[in-house]
Amino acid sequence: MSSKAGRPVQLGCLMEPYQTWLEYSEGTEALVHLTHEGYWHISRYPETLHALGYSEEETAGHRWKADTAAVEANEGFPTLHAHALLGLWGAFERLVEDTFVALIVDQPELLESEQFAKVKLIRPGISGGFVSREDGSHGSRNEALLGGVEA
């Protein structure tokens, strides 16, 4: 990959955004697998207690959890997968944003290319997720990305 100026774009600046996304994705995968297994165990818990000699009255308090877990598991875990997907989508959006920011911070001359001619970007000092604007006020990292787009 090279910039318009012919200078190679160093991709080392992308390691942090990619690593953050990778860790989140792997954590989500582990969460889904562990939750699958946990729901199956919970759905069988009253029967396990009954096999160990507990009475119906003693296991009744666990029935609601078991029934709820069994329904989710038998339906293929739609709620769990929906939540995981929302989280992964957000993480992917963050990866795209962080990749853009990392490239611009690493090589600000990329902003001078023709592709960015109609995009107004604020060139703040980015630190800790907040940015300093030219007028001295502060805003979020997203506000730092796009100050406005001309039609």
pTM of this structure: 0.66
Number of other CB atoms surrounding residue 62 within 10 Å: 16
Question: What does the alpha-carbon distance between residue 8 and residue 24 come to, in Å, rounded to a whole number?
Answer: 29
Q: Distance between the two ends of the chain, CA-based, in angstroms?
A: 29
Nearest to 135 by CA among 151, 127, 145, 147: 147
Q: Which two tokens stand for residue 138?
A: 């502060």
- Nearest residue to 69 (alpha-carbon basis) of 42, 49, 47, 98: 42
Angle between helices 78-106 and 15-51 (to 10 degrees): 160
For the chain, the domains span 11-106, 108-151
Predicted local distance difference test score (pLDDT) of residue 9? 59
Q: Is 140 helix (H, G, I), strand (E, B) or coil?
A: strand
Give every residue of the chain whose pLDDT is below 70, as ranges: 1-10, 121-151
Tokens linked to 34: 């562990």
Read off the pLDDT of residues 28-61 as tens digits, 9 standing for 90 and up. 999 999 999 999 999 999 999 999 999 999 999 8
Per-residue confidence (pLDDT) for residue 8, from 0 to 100: 65
